[in-house]
Chains A and B, each alone.
Chain A
Amino acid sequence: MIPLLQFDPASLTLWCDTHLIGSSRGSREIGLALEHAIVGDDRRLRLLVDCVDDPWVQTRAANVASVAWHEKRHFLDFVLTNYGALRVRTYVEAYLNAHSLFALAERDKRILLPLDCNLDEISRELAGIQAPDERLLRVAQAVADRKQMLREDQRPIDSPHGSIQVGGEALLEAIAYHVQMAKVHRLFGVDLLRRVQEDHPGEEVVHLKYRWAWEVLIRQGLLRVDASDHDMLLMKDAPFLPLCYGALAARLWGQPQTRTGSSSSYMPGERFASLAVAVAEDHPGYGQASCEEAWDMVNQTCRRIFGRSAIEETEIDLEHEASFVDTIAKAMPGSEVAAAMTDLHGLRGRLFDLLKDDPAAVLDQSAWADRTVQRTQPLIVVAAPAGEIGEPPKGFARLSGYRHPDTDYEKEPEARWWWSALNEQWPDVADPEILCLRDRSAWTAVVSDYAPFGKLMYAGHKQRLMLGPEVLGARLRAEQAAGIELKVHSAFSHPRHVHDAGFWNFITGRDDFRCDLSSETVRKPEGYMLDAWELRLRPGLRHALLGSVENQRRMQFSLWRDWTPWLLSAEFGDYFNFFETDEASLSGPSGNR
């Protein structure tokens, strides 16, 4: 899959792939729909979608707009809920350790990534690391412990329909999908809702990943399905988000847990299962309750079975977080991480006040759709995986790119480009009504440097990225700055995407493409999609491509710059597979700022 839009918990930013949108049929309409959804202009969005003649473009424009709402909801839930805050904190802990790590590798001048690989003697031997510092091993153990925690949260369980996940991550997805589809219904009506629901590559995956929570709660009698409309189920959904929020109010920070044979106050999956049973026992009319009534019922049941309401659990989590922020501010005064965490804690406090004073604004999909989503404004990162020659447009700060040294860019413009940039003018951080992070300077440092390095510490290069040079560039910059080699374990050397040209046809709405090597037109379902990492793993192919052109320098820049997938005819797909991979070739000037 190639992500068109995604929310990055490591930096709390929403990333948009502008080149992918630009490659789509109806790119102008789809781009405008996305812009209206991001800024929260429902009136213009509806007018635009109403005026589109091409049904495919109309559906896709509505769908892409709805994905922006989905990702905005992730922003709110990751900031506000105890579980979401834990996920963000996981990265912040990595940022806090980033600088000190280099000093701890003084002896071997080498650190293995992901960090937990340093705990393995055989991996260390292979990487030429002889005697790692004990403090480095403690940081590596902390990463391993966090991974263990996240793994337990994401552990799939069997269901009548296949494997499902029921933990915090799965709940965040269920909430985001629910408010996304509910707003599509409210804004565009039932026909477009149906078309948007069908506009994705895999019905089964969507069902298992996003609709599982409805099914569990309907079976438990906690959600009522009253009738059908145009062959679609009508669900009385007011009690849905309150129960999810009760589950996400996880008890963390090493606090003592309340556990019985049938309940646990700890992670969201356990809380969800506990609440699904206990709320049904305590409140037989839960399925008919309003959002506010349901939230009261969930809080009462949480207090009975866990000893604290969800509100109290969040209040205590915020107190722990305040101490954490204070510790960071004292340990790293004036640092970007300290400033970003102070800013984040402030936003979380404002969101918690909103939840207490006006629960519907957060927990009622209609109030969220009509009011809160417009005020929810994450920082936006514009990604250009093909690389844009020159500098980002006015109003955008460059986050990643490349400038070839000792070059006259007037004469050789292709020697300088950018891959990602942060919108400096939106959101309006001075507007007190907007639910956003306000310290743009601190977050710019987080997005460009800390977040990619934090992700490297957890996953090496093996992660779903919109932009390869985000982590590759961060690694090379850190190596140059610290004089330490950051060696990526071979099992984490690159993302393991399985690309297929069919997804390109789906995402762009096009039935053909031009082969990037032969320029011949390749018609659906033929063709081969080559991941940007795969190209970089095959030095022989690079050399062959360089040898095929007269201006090798320009071709070299082009190969460094372009991180979009290559689209090939079947014949050239075979040609590509002829070249052997070499993981060591994943270095070079691909990410210097």
Chain B
Amino acid sequence: MVNSYITLVGPEEVIRQLAREELPDGVKLGRRQPADGFADAANAPLGPDEIRQLLELVSVAISTGTAAVVLFEKLRALLKPGQQVTVKDARNGQTLATVSPSTPAQQVAAKVVPDDGAGT
């Protein structure tokens, strides 16, 4: 089975909770890590950066469309209003979708896993 590889980038508490969830066969979650490299220079008020919320990222290998739907349903259920998680193609960094509490899981899954006949 050919895997689809994605990177999820979102609020720390959401990614952490997702890592604790029981996920279906066909979804493999990697190791969580900060989305920030903590290597920025110090700046000044002439052009200050916003105070950023802490984001985490996690790599995911998905082998079936069905598993992808379950993953995004679980992810969507973890999001509070106003929160979102960005779904990127892990091979090239392209943004594939943004998941909010109201995003249909099947719609995201279809962008992530090409139709494999697994009954998404």
Q: Which residues of A contact B (CB under 8 A)?
A: 1-10, 15, 63-64, 67, 70-71, 74, 114, 116-117, 119-123, 125-126, 144, 146-148, 150-151, 154-156, 162-165, 172-173, 176-177, 180, 199-202, 205-206, 208-210, 454-455, 458-460, 462-466, 490-493, 503, 507, 581-584
Contact = CB atoms under 8 A, between A and B. Distances in A.
A121 B30 contact: yes
28 contacts: A4-B47, A5-B46, A7-B41, A7-B42, A10-B39, A71-B44, A119-B31, A119-B33, A120-B31, A120-B33, A126-B5, A147-B33, A147-B36, A151-B36, A156-B51, A200-B48, A201-B48, A459-B36, A459-B37, A463-B37, A464-B41, A490-B88, A490-B89, A490-B90, A491-B90, A507-B47, A581-B94, A583-B93
A154 B51 CA distance: 9
Nearest to A151: B34
Contacts of A503: 47
Contact of B40 (A155, A464, A493): A464
B48 A205 contact: yes
Interface string B9-46: 10000000000000000001011011111111111111
A582 B92 contact: yes
A180 to B, nearest CB: 8
B79 interface: no
B61 A122 contact: yes
Interface residues of B, number: 39
Interface in B29-73: 30-31, 33-54, 57, 59-61
A114 B51 contact: no
Given A121-B31, A490-B91, A15 B57 contact: no
B86 to A, nearest CB: 10
B104 to A, nearest CB: 25
Interface string B82-102: 000000111111100000000
B34 A493 contact: no
B7 A490 contact: yes
B34 A172 contact: no
Contacts of B91: 126, 490
A156 B53 contact: yes
A172 B42 contact: yes
Contacts of B36: 147, 151, 459, 462
A202 B48 CA distance: 8
Contact of A4 (B33, B34, B46, B50): B46
Given A122-B59, A155-B54, A491-B9, A200 B45 contact: yes
A164 B51 contact: yes
The interface residues of chain A, by DSSP majority, are classed as: helix
Contacts of A492: 37
Contact of A584 (B38, B61, B92): B92
Contacts of B90: 122-123, 126, 490-491
A466 B38 contact: no
A205 B37 CA distance: 21
A114 B35 CA distance: 11
B24 to A, nearest CB: 17
Contacts of B42: 6-9, 71, 74, 172-173, 176
Contacts of B50: 202, 205
A165 B5 CA distance: 34
Contacts of B37: 114, 147, 455, 458-460, 462-463, 492
Nearest to A203: B45
Nearest to B57: A491
A463 B39 contact: yes
B8 to A, nearest CB: 10
A180 B89 CA distance: 44
Given A4-B46, A70-B44, A208 B39 contact: no
List the 7 shortest-distance A-B pairs measured between CB atoms, nearest first.
A459-B37, A490-B93, A122-B30, A459-B39, A122-B59, A1-B47, A6-B41
Given A114-B37, A206-B48, A491-B9, A1 B43 contact: yes
Contact of B54 (A63, A71, A151, A490): A151
A164 B54 CA distance: 12
Contacts of B5: 122, 126
A460 B42 CA distance: 18
B20 to A, nearest CB: 17
B92 A458 contact: no
B45 A163 contact: no
Given A10-B39, A206-B48, A459-B39, 13 more contacts: A8-B42, A63-B46, A71-B42, A116-B33, A119-B33, A120-B30, A126-B91, A147-B33, A151-B36, A176-B44, A201-B47, A205-B50, A464-B40
Contacts of B52: 156
B40 A165 contact: no
Contact of B48 (A1, A10, A454, A459): A1
A491 B54 contact: no
A8 B7 contact: no
B43 A464 contact: yes
Contact of B47 (A3, A147, A208, A210): A3
Contacts of B60: 122
A515 B41 CA distance: 30
Given A460-B37, A490-B7, A120 B59 contact: yes
